[in-house]
A and B are shown apart, each in its own frame.
Chain A
Amino acid sequence: MTDQDPIAALRALESDALAAVEQAGDADGLEAVRITYLGRKEGRISALLRGLGGMPAEDRPAAGQEANRVKAAVTEALEAREGALLGPESAGGEDLTLPSRGPWTGGLHPITQAVDEIWHIFRDLGFTRARGPEADTEWYNFEALNTPLDHPAADEQDTLYLVDSVLLRSHTSPVQMRTMETHEPPIRIIAPGWVYRRDTYDATHTPAFMQVEGLVIDEGITFVDFKATLAEFARRYWGPDTQTRFRPSFFPFTEPSAEVDVKRVITRADGSKEETDWLEIMGAGMVDPAVIENAGYDSERYTGFAFGMGPARIAKLKHGVDDLRTFFDNDVRFLEQFAR
C-alpha cells in the first residue's frame, strides 16, 4: 500500500473499472474486466479491500464503506453490460417459439365432488337442497332430536360449545328440525354441510367434516320407502349390481334405526367380476315420532325417514385413500389428480 488516501484510490479505481466495463465488446472481454477488478486473488479492488486491515482504526469504517460501495457499483455495471451484450436475441437458453403457458385452472375438491354426486342422485329422485346454520343451539342439535342433554351423545366432551347452549353443530340433523319448522309436508331434502366434533386429528377423524343429511316426511311413508330409496341411491352411486344391507342400530332421533352397508361388484382388468366386503356407508332410520311432534306435526298422520352419510368416507372408499388427512393437507399434487 502507498500513503495515498485510500478513498481517493478507490474512486480512481472505480472510474477505471466503469470505463473498462463500457469498453468491453463481448462476454469474454467483460469477464476479463471482472477478473482484473473483482477477482478474488489478483483483483485490484479486492487487493485494496484486503489492505484496509493495515489502516488506523479510526479511518477504517469510512474506507470500508466506500470500498463496499465501489464494489457494488462495479458489480452492477458488469451485470448491466452483460445484459446489454447478451441481449434477448442472443442464444440465452430460452426458446422464444414455445407456446405460452395456459391459465392455471382450479378443480373441485374430491369431497365437494362426492357431495355433488350424492346431491345430484337425490335431486334426480325428487329431493331439494336445504341448509342450516353451523352454529346452532342445544335445542336444535340435541333436544329437538329426542336427545336429552344428559344423553351420552350430548356429552360436552365431544361437542364444541361457543357460549352457553350455543354450539358448533355436531351433525347436520338440526337441519331436519329447521326445515320441518318452516315447511309443510311433503318434505324431501338433502342437506350437505360442515359439522364439528372434538375429535383428535388422525387417519380416520377430523374435527371438522362434511355430512350429507337426508329427510323425507309425508303421509304413509314406510320402511319400504326407506329401504327402496337408499338401495336405489346405492345402485346409482356404486353401480347397478350394488347390494344393500340394513343392520339394526340406535340413534335417538330415529326408531327403528339402521346402519346401511353396501357390497359392490368391481370389474377387474381381465374383465372378471369381484364382490367387495360389506362397507358401512351411512346411519339412517325411521324418524322418531317424538321428533315429528317436536316439529309441530301430527305423528299419527306423518311418518318419514332420515339418513346421514360422510362424503369424505365415501370419497375415501371410492379413491382408495388411506388417510383422511390427505384431503385437508391442501397439497396441490394430491388434489389435482381429482380435478376435472
Chain B
Amino acid sequence: MNVSYRWLLGMVPGLDLKPEQLAEHLALRGAPVEEISSPGAELGDIVIGKVLEAGQHPNADRLSLCRVDGGEGEVQVVCGAPNVKAGSWYPFAPTGAVLPGKFKIKKSKIRGEISEGMLCSARELGLGTEHDGILEIEGDFTAGESFVAAVGLDDATLDVEITANRGDLLSHVGVARELASEGEGRVQLPVIEGDPGVELSFERGAPEVRLGDVAIRIEDEDLCTRYLGAVIRGVRIAPSPAWLQERLRGAGARPINNVVDATNYVMLELGQPLHAFDLNGLVGTSIVVRRVSPG
C-alpha cells in the first residue's frame, strides 16, 4: 500500500512526524515501511519558466523560437511543441539540468538557432504519457521557483507492507486511524460537502435489481452481501484538478482522467474498491457478482 505523507497529514491534524519517523511508528505497529520515495525525486533541477515571447523559428516550420524567463535572466529556447504560447507557465529545464533517465540538457544550436534549455512535456518528466505538447501549468508563479514544490510533487510516498490480518490498513483513513490510536493526533475524516441530490433505494433479497437499462444480480451471496450502483449522467471526461492529481501521484498512482481518478481517489482514501463503467457499454446487459467459472 502506497501512502502519501501529505494526504495523511491532512487527515491527522497535529501529526508532528517526519516521513522517516512515521515509518518507524508504523513498523512498530506491525506495518513496516519498505521504501520512502518521492514523486518528484528526479525533477529537482526543473523550475517554473514563463514564456515571454513565442515566434516562428526562421529555419524550421514546426519549431518555435521562444524567449523564456527561468529565473536567471531571459534565455532563447527552441521548442517543438504546438501548444507553446507567450504569457504561459511551463516546467523548464535550464542548461545543465538532468531529466529522468539521466538526460542532461546542454546548450545547443537547433537549425542554426541557439537553445538554452527545454520546455518539458508530461512524458519527458515521467508524469504521464502526454507528449502532444508541453505541460502548461495553471496558476500564478515566480519564474525560477522549484517545479516540484509548485505543483505539489514534494510529497513522500511510503510503501507500507500490510499483513493479511490488517485489511483495515489498506487506505489512508485506515493508516491515519492506526497512528491516531497511538496518540498521534486525531483523525479528521473527509467531509463530503453538499447534497448529492441522489435518492438511494434498497432492495433486499431480490433476485435481480434493475438500474435503468442495466440489471444487477448477486449469485454468490456468501461472498458479496451488498452491491451498490448509481448512474451518473452528463459526465465530461477531462483531466482531474491539480490537487487530485497531486494526491494520486503522492500515493504512487498515475492520474488518468477525472472519472478513473475519482474512483482511485475514493479507494485510496476510504479503502472501498469501486469501478466506473461506461453506461453505453452496459445497456441491455447485467452486472453479475459470482465466483469465476472454471477455465
A258 nearest in chain B by CB position? B30
Can you list the 5 inter-chain pairs with the closest CB atoms, starting with the nearest?
A248-B30, A250-B163, A250-B165, A250-B164, A249-B30
Write the nearest CB–CB distance from A254 to chain B, whole angstroms: 11
Q: Whole-angstrom distance between the alpha carbons of A277 and B141 in the complex? A: 43
Count of inter-chain pairs, beta carbons less than 8 A: 18
Cβ of B238 < 8 Å from any Cβ of A? no
Q: Which of A179-219 contact B (CB under 8 A)?
A: none
Q: Whole-angstrom distance between the alpha carbons of A105 and B294 in the complex? A: 59
Are A247 and B30 neighbours in the complex by a CB distance under 8 Å?
yes
Residues of B within 8 Å of A40, CB to CB, are none
Q: Whole-angstrom distance between the alpha carbons of A151 and B165 in the complex? A: 11
Q: Measuring CB to CB, which residues of chain A are less than 8 angstroms from any residue of chain B?
A: 151-153, 247-250, 252
Interface residues on B, range: under 10
Residues of B within 8 Å of A247, CB to CB, are 27-28, 30, 32
Cβ of B29 < 8 Å from any Cβ of A? yes
Q: Whole-angstrom distance between the alpha carbons of A250 and B161 in the complex? A: 11
Among candidates A153, A250, A252, residue contacting B166 with C-beta atoms closer than 8 Å: A250
Residues of B within 8 Å of A151, CB to CB, are 164
Are B164 and A248 neighbours in the complex by a CB distance under 8 Å?
no
Q: Measuring CB to CB, which residues of chain B are less than 8 angstroms from any residue of chain A?
A: 27-30, 32, 163-166
Are B164 and A249 neighbours in the complex by a CB distance under 8 Å?
no
Q: List 18 A-B contacts (CB under 8 A).
A: A151-B164, A152-B164, A153-B164, A247-B27, A247-B28, A247-B30, A247-B32, A248-B28, A248-B29, A248-B30, A249-B30, A249-B163, A250-B30, A250-B163, A250-B164, A250-B165, A250-B166, A252-B164
Q: Whole-angstrom distance between the alpha carbons of A151 and B163 in the complex? A: 12
Q: Whole-angstrom distance between the alpha carbons of A250 and B28 in the complex? A: 13
Q: Whole-angstrom distance between the alpha carbons of A318 and B138 in the complex? A: 56
Q: Whole-angstrom distance between the alpha carbons of A151 and B30 in the complex? A: 20
Q: Whole-angstrom distance between the alpha carbons of A153 and B165 in the complex? A: 12
Q: Whole-angstrom distance between the alpha carbons of A152 and B164 in the complex? A: 8
B29 nearest in chain A by CB position? A248
B166 nearest in chain A by CB position? A250
Q: Whole-angstrom distance between the alpha carbons of A218 and B246 in the complex? A: 55
Interface centre among A151, A152, A250 (most CB of B within 10 A): A250
